[in-house]
Amino acid sequence: MGAKLYKVICRGMTDDFVDTPFGIAYAVADNAEEAYRKVRNSLDARNLGFAKDREMKRIELIAEDEDYPKCGIRLYR
């Protein structure tokens, strides 16, 4: 199986009042759990936002590194 590109949206830090809404991120991973873990580990390591803000609100599959991706969008790495 190829890698996938996910859009990870956390519960907080997503508004437009800051230069970088850290609660919205993209991650390349093999599955959704790994994508969230990458984002969460980065937020935790940098101590950004409150713990409740770092919780996942939604995750979306954007693209896949497959010849015929099920989501309809091809990821090239």
- Read off the pLDDT of residues 32-74 as tens digits, 9 standing for 90 and up: 999 999 999 999 999 999 999 999 999 999 999 999 999 999 9
Asked whether residue 28 is domain-assigned, the answer is yes
Hunting for tokens 């969460």 — which residue is that?
A: 40
pLDDT value of position 53: 95
In a domain, 75, yes or no: no
pLDDT band at 27 (very low <50, low <70, confident <90, very high): very high
For residues 6-32, average pLDDT: 92
Count: domains in the chain: 1
**Among positive and negative, which fits the CA dihedral 53, 56, 62, 65?**
positive
Residue 11 belongs to what domain range? 4-64
